[in-house]
């Protein structure tokens, strides 16, 4: 297992797309979060009272993830699909024919790397956002805040895992991105605004993730952060398991 893990790590660190996509994830998430916080702070007095009452300073500093997650999805999808689009998957399986071992190594590599990037992104987004919020800020010692910040890192990592699973199912980069990006950026937010449908859409991974990384959470959504974590986990593990089952029996 260790040699395969090392080999997967070499693969990931020797292509430019890794740096570009992960840097973009970090910059967009932190940057957009900072802009949102700065704008909120300067327009605080014009905000409606109800907004001000249940203002979630932690969630506000994580606003950037709505866009930042797209770059993260691209990273995770490319780790898998570039093997197929370049034909390299045949070299990979020639070297490591044990497909379960191979997939585990890929998953662990992605989880490890994205885990580190996510923790950095979560904490820096948080501290920068709070600094910009000025007097409306919160701190890690307030109830639920530390959980929400780590929740952010966990959500990002699980999102990468989910994308790896989908990439193994779909194999080609464009279709995989064409499923994932609109889903997280458009479909889920829209369906969550439609009455009735939203009862189902509330269980989508991005909504569950938001419960995980905000302090107050969305009161419309019928579950809290712990359930949110398990819902995102179920989506990710589900996609990876389906991906593995297909990967194990398909021709490379």
Nearer to other proteins, 11 or 137 (CB): 11
Q: Name the minimum Å distance from CB 250 to other proteins.
A: 8
Q: Name the minimum Å distance from CB 12 to other proteins.
A: 9
Q: Does 7 bind other proteins (CB under 8 A)?
A: yes
Residues 6+ apart with CB under 8 A from 241: 165
Nearer to other proteins, 95 or 200 (CB): 95
By the 10 Å C-beta count (0-12 exposed, 13-18 middle, 19+ buried), 13 is classed as exposed
Number of C-beta neighbours around residue 21 at 10 A: 21
Residues 6+ apart with CB under 8 A from 106: 8, 79, 80, 164
Q: Name the minimum Å distance from CB 3 to other proteins.
A: 5
Q: Does 249 bind other proteins (CB under 8 A)?
A: yes
- Rounded to whole angstroms, how far apart are CA atoms 32 and 62? 8
Cα–Cα distances (Å) from 6 to 2, 9, 13, in that order, read 6, 5, 11
Q: Name the minimum Å distance from CB 96 to other proteins.
A: 5
Binding window for other proteins (CB under 8 A); candidates: 177-185, 191-199, 204-212, 243-251: 243-251
Give the containing element (helix H, strand E) for 183: none
Nearer to other proteins, 100 or 193 (CB): 100
Nearer to other proteins, 96 or 187 (CB): 96
Q: Name the minimum Å distance from CB 4 to other proteins.
A: 6
Q: Does 86 bind other proteins (CB under 8 A)?
A: yes
Of residues 85, 102, 99, the one with CA closest to residue 7: 102
Q: Does 188 bind other proteins (CB under 8 A)?
A: no
Q: Does 48 bind other proteins (CB under 8 A)?
A: no
> Do residues 31 and 64 touch, judged by C-beta distance below 8 A?
yes
Nearer to other proteins, 7 or 218 (CB): 7
- Rounded to whole angstroms, how far apart are CA atoms 20 and 2? 27
Q: Does 98 bind other proteins (CB under 8 A)?
A: yes
Task: Give the residue carrying structure tokens 């024919």.
Answer: 97
> Do residues 109 and 9 touch, judged by C-beta distance below 8 A?
yes
CA angle 69, 73, 77 (to 5 degrees): 175
- Segment 17-46, which members bind other proteins (CB under 8 A)? 17
Number of C-beta neighbours around residue 141 at 10 A: 7
| Among residues 97, 134, 182, 238, the one that binds other proteins under rule CB under 8 A | 97
Binding window for other proteins (CB under 8 A); candidates: 91-99, 123-131, 174-182, 227-235: 91-99
Binding site for other proteins (CB under 8 A): 3-4, 6-8, 10-11, 14-17, 82-83, 86-98, 249-252
């Amino acid at each position: 297992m260790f040699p395969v893990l090392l080999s997967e790590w070499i693969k990931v660190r020797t292509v430019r797309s890794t740096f570009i996509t992960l840097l973009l994830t970090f910059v967009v998430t932190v940057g957009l979060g900072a802009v949102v916080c700065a704008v909120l702070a300067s327009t605080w007095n014009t905000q409606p009272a109800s907004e001000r009452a249940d203002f979630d300073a932690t969630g506000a500093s994580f606003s950037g993830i709505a866009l930042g997650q797209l770059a993260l999805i691209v990273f995770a999808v490319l780790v898998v699909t570039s093997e197929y689009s370049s034909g390299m998957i045949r070299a990979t399986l020639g070297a490591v024919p044990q497909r379960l071992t191979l997939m585990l190594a890929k998953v662990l590599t992605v989880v490890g790397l994205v885990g580190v990037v996510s923790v950095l992104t979560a904490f820096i987004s948080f501290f920068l956002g709070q600094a910009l919020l000025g007097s409306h800020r919160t701190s890690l010692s307030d109830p639920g805040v530390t959980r929400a910040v780590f929740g952010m890192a966990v959500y990002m990592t699980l999102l990468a895992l989910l994308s790896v699973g989908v990439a193994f199912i779909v194999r080609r980069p464009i279709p995989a991105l064409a499923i994932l990006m609109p889903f997280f950026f458009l479909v889920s937010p829209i369906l969550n605004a439609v009455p009735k449908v939203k009862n189902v859409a509330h269980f989508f991974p991005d909504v569950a993730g938001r419960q995980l990384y905000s302090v107050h959470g969305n009161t419309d959504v019928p579950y809290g952060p712990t359930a949110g974590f398990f819902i995102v986990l179920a989506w990710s593990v589900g996609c990876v398991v389906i991906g593995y089952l297909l990967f194990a029996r398909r021709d490379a």
